[in-house]
Amino acid sequence: MSRLHTSFVLGFHGCSQDTADALLRGGAFRPSEEAHDWLGPGVYFWEGDPLRAWEWAKEKVDQGAYKQGAVIGAVIELGNCLDLTTRTDLSLLEDAYLSFEKARSSAGLPMPVNRDPRGRGEGDKLLRFLDCAVIKHLHENLEDEAKAAIALGQIPVIAPFHTVRGLFVEGGPVYPGGGFYERTHTQIAVRAPGAIKGVFLPRSA
């Protein structure tokens, strides 16, 4: 968890120009609640990568979702972070998967599946229905356990997470035969609004 890391990081949020203007005036970020979000519900940032955030915003413009794209920078305090770049937290996620699988089986429900967007063929499985569901299940379990512990006057074994951090290998190789990929990135999903300590307009935006 984030106690093993530097507490503050810079994140970059791709958005519309209207949203950027509102955020710089003190408006609140709107969390994503899509069933296919890569790190579950939260406000999404590209860690230390304003260019990747700009590429994402530009894709939204090209798709007609935004009239004009923009990037907002933020100072983020990771706090109690589900850090999926570490072995310990990946083990926690594995346990959540087993619990989720058992619950779905008991209810006679199929497991969600990560999928490629329609018409794209086999690729990076950009629609992460399974991953999102497992992470949400983990959050719900921890929140239930925390409430039960507090009701008994006890401290939760694992407190609910403020942020989620993950590394994703995405895109084609940077060069033939290499092990680096064009869109590899670290993403952060902020669940606790107070973890966002400040916003700024990046010079490169």
Could you list the residue range(s) of the whole structural domain that residue 131 is in?
2-200
As for how many domains the chain has, the answer is 1
Q: Is the pLDDT of residue 2 over 50?
A: no
- Section 90-102 average pLDDT: 97
Query: Does residue 58 form part of some domain?
Result: yes
pLDDT of 122 reads 65
C-alpha distances (whole Å) from 73 to each of 22, 51, 64, 97, 200 are: 13, 11, 23, 33, 5
Query: Does residue 113 form part of some domain?
Result: yes
User: Quick one: what percent of the chain has pLDDT higher than 90?
Assistant: 88
Query: Does residue 118 form part of some domain?
Result: yes
Q: pLDDT of 166-188, one tens digit each? A: 999 988 999 999 999 998 999 99
Mean pLDDT of the chain: 93
| Residue bearing tokens 């497992």 | 134
pLDDT of 6 reads 58
pLDDT of 4 reads 52
Using 50, 70 and 90 to split pLDDT, how confident is the model at 124?
A: confident
Query: Does residue 134 form part of some domain?
Result: yes
- Section 147-161 average pLDDT: 93
Query: Does residue 205 form part of some domain?
Result: no
Handedness of CA 12, 17, 18, 20 (dihedral sign): positive
- How far apart CA 60 and CA 17 sit, in angstroms, is 12
pLDDT of 171 reads 87
Q: pLDDT of 21-64, one tens digit each? A: 999 999 999 999 999 999 999 999 999 999 999 999 999 999 99
